[in-house]
């Protein structure tokens, strides 16, 4: 009878979670189509991408102009010559897209034919040339100290893509030895390192701020972060650690997570295991193993809106983060938090045990327009100013 009760409970749980997430098709990489990350990257080291989108179509304004016209303190500081020495800016951005979006007629030459190519050959990761240019313009104006990317196309896969799928995409001009998409976005002033087995998930650190201890190359390390695979949760490491040795002295630990998506019990169990990697044991010690830690990325769950009885990964986050816990939410939390995904959910987050801060979401927060005015991205980037160092 216990087995029967457990099975029924799991079935009811899956139905309830499905209802709660009904407006949010599976976010992440557990799909079964040609653009499915676990069907592609996990099997053949290609990008793993999202399956839907809500990218808005607000006017594009670069970060510097936005700062001058909105009076936002953190971006004003950037424009006026740099953030205070005891503060730093972090960005987490899932740059994935989807073949199911209404993209025809947007004005950027990216239509359904291009969306199909991106789904089939680019893993739905950021690879469309015009979008890359816009994000690059935004990031170079913002100059964040740390950027965590999820679902970003790895240019080293271009030789495996047919030339017929090149026009308009980064592979059209890329040659062996050129910077990867993640490097292009942040520019030469950053060191970039990616997750073991997951080249679409990377951390970029401004060289004037610090260096990634795990990465011996000053510019790029394909698998330059600490991370461990979880059995039965796809391939590669979805949680990875960068120990950043600061130019000013000392260090911080940054953890990037792109949690498993989906509403099946196995999907939720994988998310629970990934949270436990961060706080309990990733490689013999917690992923967040430093004296000062910053955790950010695509959690693929909204712990402030989705109750733990519907999804245990929500409960797992709230077990370690929040009131009376050593880790606190830096990004907005709860039903009133500005959504980073689908206009409804806040699944892109920043957490820390050492830093407080303020955050905004371009395309959602008043005074911060979309960084790309066309329908492409599933997620909005999240920008947070943290302090004190």
pTM attached to this predicted model = 0.83
Band of residue 114 on the pLDDT scale cut at 50, 70, 90: confident
* 118: CB partners within 8 A, 6+ apart: 35, 97, 99, 124, 125, 127, 128, 169
- On the question of pLDDT at 74 being above 50, the answer is no
- Residue ranges of domains in the chain, CATH in brackets: 2-387 (3.60.10.10)
Provide the pLDDT for residue 30. 38
126: its two tokens? 């950021």
Share of the chain above pLDDT 70, in %: 77
Token pair 């992440």: residue: 28
- On the question of pLDDT at 9 being above 90, the answer is no
Q: Summarize pLDDT for 299-351 with one digit per residue, the tens.
A: 999 999 999 999 999 999 999 999 999 999 999 999 999 999 988 899 999 99
**CA torsion angle 163 165 169 171 (round to 10):** -30
**Stretch 357-373: mean pLDDT, rounded?**
93
Band of residue 86 on the pLDDT scale cut at 50, 70, 90: confident
């Amino acid at each position: 009878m216990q087995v029967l009760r457990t099975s029924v409970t799991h079935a009811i749980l899956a139905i309830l979670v499905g209802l709660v997430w009904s407006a949010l098709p599976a976010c992440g990489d557990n799909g079964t189509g040609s653009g499915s990350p676990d069907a592609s990257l996990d099997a053949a080291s290609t990008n793993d991408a999202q399956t839907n989108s809500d990218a808005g179509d607000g006017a594009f304004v670069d970060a510097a102009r936005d700062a001058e016209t909105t009076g936002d303190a953190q971006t004003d500081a950037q424009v006026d010559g740099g953030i205070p020495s005891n503060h730093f800016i972090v960005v987490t951005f899932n740059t994935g897209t989807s073949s199911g979006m209404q993209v025809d007629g947007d004005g950027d030459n990216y239509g359904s034919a291009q969306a199909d190519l991106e789904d089939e050959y680019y893993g739905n990761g950021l690879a469309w040339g015009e979008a890359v240019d816009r994000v690059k313009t935004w990031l170079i104006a913002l100059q964040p100290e740390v950027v965590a990317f999820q679902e970003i196309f790895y240019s080293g896969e271009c030789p495996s893509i047919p030339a017929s799928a090149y026009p308009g995409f980064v592979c059209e001009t890329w040659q062996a030895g050129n910077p990867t998409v993640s490097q292009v976005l942040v520019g030469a002033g950053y060191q970039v390192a990616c997750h073991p087995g997951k080249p679409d998930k990377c951390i970029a650190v401004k060289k004037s701020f610090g260096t990634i201890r795990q990465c011996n190359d000053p510019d790029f390390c394909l698998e330059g972060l600490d991370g461990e695979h979880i059995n039965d949760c796809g391939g590669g490491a979805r949680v990875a650690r960068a120990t950043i040795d600061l130019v000013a002295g000392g260090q911080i630990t940054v953890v990037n997570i792109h949690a498993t998506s989906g509403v099946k019990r196995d999907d939720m169990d994988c998310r629970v295991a990934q949270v436990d990697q961060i706080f309990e044991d990733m490689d013999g010690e917690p992923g967040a193993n430093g004296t000062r830690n910053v955790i950010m990325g695509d959690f693929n769950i909204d712990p402030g809106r989705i109750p733990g009885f519907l999804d245990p990964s929500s409960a797992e986050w709230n077990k370690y983060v929040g009131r009376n816990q050593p880790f606190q939410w830096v990004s907005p939390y709860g039903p009133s938090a500005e959504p980073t995904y689908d206009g409804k959910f806040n699944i892109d987050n920043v957490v820390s045990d050492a830093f407080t801060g303020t955050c905004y979401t371009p395309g959602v927060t008043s005074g911060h327009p979309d960084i790309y005015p066309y329908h492409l991205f599933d997620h909005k980037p999240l920008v947070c100013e943290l302090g004190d160092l």
